[in-house]
Each structure stands twice: as C-alpha cells, then as structure tokens.
Structure 1
Amino acid sequence: MTRNLIAILRGLKPDEALAVTAALIEAGITAIEVPLNSPQPLESIERMASAFGNDALIGAGTVLSTHDVANVVQAGGKLIVSPNCDAEVIGATKAAGLQSFPGVFTATEGFAALKAGADGLKIFPASIMGPNGMAALKAVLPASVPVYAVGGAGPDNFGQWRAAGADGFGIGTALYTPGLAASEVAARARKLVSAYDEVMS
C-alpha cells in the first residue's frame, strides 16, 4: 500500500544516507526528503536517488529558491518540499516534472499554492494550527488536494489529525535525529507505520 508519509531527514549526512533510506523503505515509508540545510544535502540526495529512485520518492526539503530546485533536479531528486508558499519555486518544480509540496498556513496561501500548480499542501507548523484549524481549512479546499500535517503530528495523535481531515503526515524528529543509527530509525519507522495503518486504513 502507498502511505502518505514523508520522512524528513534533517541533519542527515551522506555516509548515513543509504542505510537510513533502506531502513525507511523496508518499514514502508517511501517518500523521503533531505532538508537543504543538512550537511551536504545534494550529495545525500544523489546517493539516495541513485540507489533507491525506483523504490521511493526521494527529494529535498527547505527548498527556498528556483536555484535550489535546479540543484535537486541535477541530483536526481523527484520531490520538492518547502516551508513556505513561493509561486516561482512551485512553478520551477512543476516545469521540471517534480512533485511540489509547499508549506501553507492560511486559505490564501493554500489557494495560491494550488494556483501555482502544487501537488499537495503541507500545513506548517501544524502544531500551531491544531486539528480544529485544519478542519476549517479542509472545509474550503478542494477535496482532491492531499493535505499533510507537518510539525507536531506523530503516532500519538494521528487519530486527531485524521479526524480533522489530514490526508498524510511529514515526520521529522519522531523518525530521525542527527547521528541516529539506522537500526533505531527502522524501529521508529515500524512503530510509526503501524500507528498510521491503524488510523488511516
């Protein structure tokens, strides 16, 4: 099954990238982003895309410019995630044939992102909006648009977010923190996937 889970590997180093990616895919998480404020992120993305590009959607997070988008394309990434809604970044992402998930917090930003061509919306920071805020936003957004809760969503509250209309989740520190062994990432990922399946299926 395809799960609407994006692993956010902030702080990942290139020499960890393949083992951590393999652990995530084995657990059932097949969308993975390396934030561009990580050490040598493009090298990590290049290694991951080369090894696992057929098994997972690999890309970058914290993408803030069209220049960033071009770099990710060159590294072989297929996913662009941003903390903000930038029409130029979204446009460049779609022109390059990549998937676009910009960060939004208001209806204005959400509709601007969709107008620019976004594939889905990342509610960020979701912990500030809360499930009630997301439910209100979902009521006006097109039902076909996948909306992900990012920042404050995890196994303990997937049910609340699901009830509010969340279609998926971006998960950072609950999955990975810098230097965490691949075996521990695997254990966290299995727990996360189990909680997701219980709530979302």
Structure 2
Amino acid sequence: MTTLDAALDRLPLLAILRGITPPEALPVGKALVDAGFSILEAPLNSPEPYDTIRQLADAHGETCLIGAGTVLTPEQVQRTADAGGRIVVSPNFNAEVVRATKRLGMVSCPGVFTPSEAFAALDAGADCLKIFPGDAITPKFIKAIRAVLPASARIVVTGGVGAANLAEFMAAGADGAGIGSALYKPGRPAAEVGVVAAQLVAAVHAAREAA
C-alpha cells in the first residue's frame, strides 16, 4: 500500500475530481494514473461520491492513495473508509474529523490557513496540511510558515495552483499541490484529463530540476 510520503515523492500532486460521476471514475482514474498521479480524491459534494471512491479504490488502491475531499464530519470519514478510501481531505480543520480519520488508520489532510490552525491540526494528528485557498496567498507565505512548522510536516497548497506557478510554491517549501478545475471539470473527457495531467507532470519535473 502506498504511503503519503511515497505518493508525494513520486508526484507531488493531488487530483481533485469535484463533480465526477461514477461512470467517469474508471476512465478518468486510469488517465490520471497512467500520467503518474498517485493521489486521487472525490469530493463528497460530487454525485454519488462513495461509489466513485469504491471504484477507484478497487482499481488503484494498491498503488495509489484514493479517498474523499470536502469531508466535514466523522460520519463521512467512516463512510469513506467503508468505500475503501485511505485519505481524508477537508477544506477546514475539525479536530474530530482528524481524530476519526486517524482512528481508522487513514491519512488526514485538513484545510488550514493560519499558523494557529496549522499547529492545532498537527497536534490533533494531521498527516498533511492543506493550505486553502491557495490563490489568497503567495509563495512567501509558504516560506514563512515552513520556517516555523516541524520539518516533518507536509504542506499541500490547494486552489489557484497550476503549471504556471507550481515551481514557485515548491521552491518556497510546499510539498505538493491539490489540482482541481485546472485538471478536471464535470464532463471533461478522460482523454483531455490525461493531456492536462501530462502537462502538470512535466511542470513538476521542470520544478524539481530547477530546484
């Protein structure tokens, strides 16, 4: 089973498939995995998200981290686990959601925006900090917060990050980025998702070479 560290080291991108439907799950998932993605989330405000999570987990759960986004309650954490998900991503920090995630042996990635939220999330057991919304900050923010967080803390910036600015955020200390509408929009064909995914993977390689 892939760990968070291994997945981020392989490719520091998290695919946010907001709005995806169960019939799209397998073709879109295959396009992303073929491009090199190893972390995929189906936000719970998508149609029948647990069905999508189950399909993705059955197909790619051995080599990828599959899970849910926009997780707001411990009950949703349990349903994600029941569907085979192994990562829980939230737009906010809720200590009960983090604790429920860790009790089930899953990866916890809550959303935070301030140093206080970041430290509180780590104290609750979070494995990764999702800085959200990313388009409300600059790479300087990441550099500043990285300087005070434990070196082991993983940071993923989500919202407003794409091929054009990914290198700046990574150079500032981000461990990765969550990519949503720039990668997948409802109804986008799997082939197009694969093309965009390949462009993002190329941007990651360029950023790593520059570093």
Q: TM-score range by the shorter chain?
A: over 0.9
Q: CA RMSD in A?
A: 0.9
What SS does the corresponding residue of 1:138 show, helix, strand or coil?
Answer: helix
Q: Which of 29, 33, 38 is matched with 2:37 structurally?
A: 29
What SS does the corresponding residue of 2:153 show, helix, strand or coil?
Answer: coil
Q: Which of 11, 36, 51 is matched with 1:3 structurally?
A: 11
| Number of the residue aligned with 1:124 | 132
Letter in 2 for 1:158: L
| Number of the residue aligned with 2:75 | 67
Per-residue CA distance 1:107-164 (angstroms, 9 max, x = gap): 0000000000000100000110221222111111111111011001110001211222
The answer to whether 1:83 aligns with 2:91 is yes
Unaligned stretches of 5+ residues in structure 2 = 1-8
- 8 Å contact 1:83–1:102 — kept in the other structure? yes
- 8 Å contact 1:105–1:129 — kept in the other structure? no
Distance 1:128 1:166 in 2: 15
Letter in 2 for 1:173: S
Distance 2:113 2:87 in 1: 20
Letter in 2 for 1:116: A
Distance 2:132 2:186 in 1: 21
What SS does the corresponding residue of 1:174 show, helix, strand or coil?
Answer: coil
Q: Which of 56, 59, 62 is matched with 2:64 structurally?
A: 56
Letter in 1 for 2:146: K
| Number of the residue aligned with 1:183 | 191
The answer to whether 1:147 aligns with 2:125 is no
- 8 Å contact 1:34–1:41 — kept in the other structure? yes
Letter in 1 for 2:172: A
In the TM superposition, what is the alpha-carbon distance from 1:10 to its structure 2 partner? 0.1
TM-score, normalised by the number of residues in structure 2: 0.93
| Number of the residue aligned with 1:171 | 179
Distance 2:41 2:159 in 1: 14
What SS does the corresponding residue of 2:108 show, helix, strand or coil?
Answer: strand
TM-score, normalised by the number of residues in structure 1: 0.98
Identity score, percent: 51
What SS does the corresponding residue of 1:139 show, helix, strand or coil?
Answer: helix
| Number of the residue aligned with 1:114 | 122
Unaligned stretches of 5+ residues in structure 1 = none
